[in-house]
Amino acid sequence: MAMIIDGKALAKSIREDITKEIGTLNYQPTLAVVLVGTDPASATYVSMKEKACLEVGIASQAHRLAADVSQRELMMLITRLNADPAVNGILVQIPLPRQLDQTAIFGAIRRDKDVDGFHPMNVGLLNLGLSGALLPCTPAGVMEMLQSINYRLKGKHVVVVGRSNVVGKPMSTLFLLADATVTICHRYTENLGLYTRQADVLVVAVGKTNLITGDMVKPGAVVIDVGTNRVGSKLVGDVVYEDVKEVAAYITPVPGGVGPMTIAMLLKNTLLAAKMQHA
Ligand code: NAD
């Protein structure tokens, strides 16, 4: 029976540390959150992030734009936020409507205000293993979860299912930098179970319910479920939790696992960005 890695509790203790550190500063870190359109899931994420900011003493500014906003208008807002010394972090909530060029927008955010870690310079620093990068929040949160159980990654086989720029790819890079052997699986991987069964650590970031069943997990593995899927009014992951918890040594629940850690890492990045700018 697996031990649960309680992301909610871990995130709470990280938020407490952030609150304490902010109490020692002679300025208040500020996060600007840009929300384009009225997608209900994005609106919920944005209000969760705003609430989390306020709780730790980060000021938050919400910039809500119409769904048909032009690239030029959004770029002008980013230019303004980049130049505003009172704004330490800028987050543009994704997904963006089709008319907007996401890559150009991420590239326009000042690198040291890029609290999502999506700017090509931050991605490059991470890939080169150089210091000074703001790390993408979800992968950084997963690393903290593994640290919380004192897991030693060196030489271990980690299998990451999903290869997105937001989760899978940076996650795999962090594991490589921690000296793990990394296998990346994706939608065209044939016989997924062949790989997942070899994982000492299995990270699943796909967005498909019931993708990982108990027979696809090596006994004693650590299973991190990043997936979030709405089933009716319930939020579930990509892993069949009830089955996999019988096989794994550690497992993260959904909800209450990676999700709260992602938000905690956003707060941590905002504090880090503010400190870099005030240094
Ligand atoms: P994405 O859609 O950009 O990427 C999904 C990845 O899954 C792709 O690389 C694709 O190749 C792979 N994939 C699709 N079907 C597959 C299959 N059958 N077998 C193996 N791989 C397959 O999604 P994303 O942004 O990386 O997010 C992934 C999931 O994680 C989603 O459910 C998302 O909601 C969730 N998520 C959660 C958090 C959090 O904080 N908890 C943060 C980010 C994303």
Q: Over the chain, what is the mean pLDDT? A: 98
| pLDDT value at residue 11 | 98
Pocket residues: Cβ below 6 A from ligand 1: 138, 161-164, 166-168, 185-187, 189, 192, 205-208, 226-229, 258-259, 262
What crossing angle do the helices spanning 258-278 and 137-148 adopt, rounded to 10°? 110
Q: From the CA of 229, give the closest atom in ligand 1.
A: 32
| pLDDT value at residue 141 | 98
Distance 77 CA to ligand 1 centre (A): 29
Distance 224 CA to ligand 1 centre (A): 13
Helix (H, G, I), strand (E, B) or coil at 40: helix
Q: Can you tell me the mean pLDDT for 11-34?
A: 98
Q: How confident is residue 198, by pLDDT bands cut at 50, 70 and 90?
A: very high
Pick the CATH number of 27-110 from 3.40.50.10860, 1.10.10.10, 3.30.70.2740, 3.10.580.10: 3.40.50.10860
Q: Which of these, 204, 269, 252, 266, lies nearest to 50 by C-alpha position?
A: 266
Q: Which of these, 166, 181, 87, lies nearest to 126 by C-alpha position?
A: 166
Residues 225, 235 contacting (CB under 8 angstroms): no
Q: Percent of the chain at pLDDT above 70?
A: 100
| pLDDT value at residue 66 | 98
Q: How confident is residue 98, by pLDDT bands cut at 50, 70 and 90?
A: very high
Q: Is the dihedral of CA 208, 157, 167, 186 positive or negative?
A: negative
Cα 85 to Cα 35, 65, 240: the distances in Å are: 21, 22, 47
Q: What is the pLDDT of residues 240-259, one digit of tens each?
A: 999 999 999 999 999 999 99
Give the number of other Cβ atoms within 10 Å of residue 73's Cβ. Answer: 14
Upstream peptide bond of 95 is cis (omega within 30 degrees of 0): yes
Q: Which of these, 101, 58, 63, 65, lies nearest to 82 by C-alpha position?
A: 63
Distance 160 CA to ligand 1 centre (A): 11
| pLDDT value at residue 191 | 98
Q: Which of these, 215, 173, 171, lies nearest to 194 by C-alpha position?
A: 215
| pLDDT value at residue 235 | 96
User: CB-based contacts of 161: which residues, under 8 Å, 6+ apart?
Assistant: 168, 185, 186, 189, 192, 196, 202, 203, 204, 205, 206, 211, 212, 238
Q: How confident is residue 12, by pLDDT bands cut at 50, 70 and 90?
A: very high
User: CB-based contacts of 169: which residues, under 8 Å, 6+ apart?
Assistant: 163, 184
Tokens at residue 166, please? Answer: 């937001």
What crossing angle do the helices spanning 168-177 and 137-148 adopt, rounded to 10°? 40
Distance 225 CA to ligand 1 centre (A): 10
Q: Can you tell me the mean pLDDT for 112-123?
A: 98
In which residue ranges of the chain is CATH 3.40.50.720 found?
137-259
Q: Which of these, 267, 226, 273, 219, lies nearest to 243 by C-alpha position?
A: 219
Terminal-residue alpha carbon distance, the chain: 47
Q: Can you tell me the mean pLDDT for 226-251?
A: 97
User: CB-based contacts of 30: which residues, under 8 Å, 6+ apart?
Assistant: 58, 59, 60, 61, 86, 87, 88, 89, 270, 274
Gap between the Cα atoms of 155 and 225, Å rounded? 22
Q: How confident is residue 64, by pLDDT bands cut at 50, 70 and 90?
A: very high
Gap between the Cα atoms of 238 and 233, Å rounded? 16
Domain 137-259 is found in CATH 3.40.50.720: yes
Q: How confident is residue 227, by pLDDT bands cut at 50, 70 and 90?
A: very high
The residue whose C-alpha atom lies closest to atom 32 belonging to ligand 1 is 207
Q: Phi first, then psi: what are they for 45, rounded to 5°?
A: -60, -45
Residue 48's H or E segment, with its range, is helix 40-56
Record the pTM.
0.98
Give the active site residues. 49, 93, 116
In which residue ranges of the chain is CATH 3.40.50.10860 found?
27-110
Q: Can you tell me the mean pLDDT for 136-142?
A: 98
Instruction: State which amino acid sits at residue 243.
Output: D
The residue whose C-alpha atom lies closest to atom 18 belonging to ligand 1 is 187
What is the residue whose two structure tokens read 């991420």?
Answer: 106
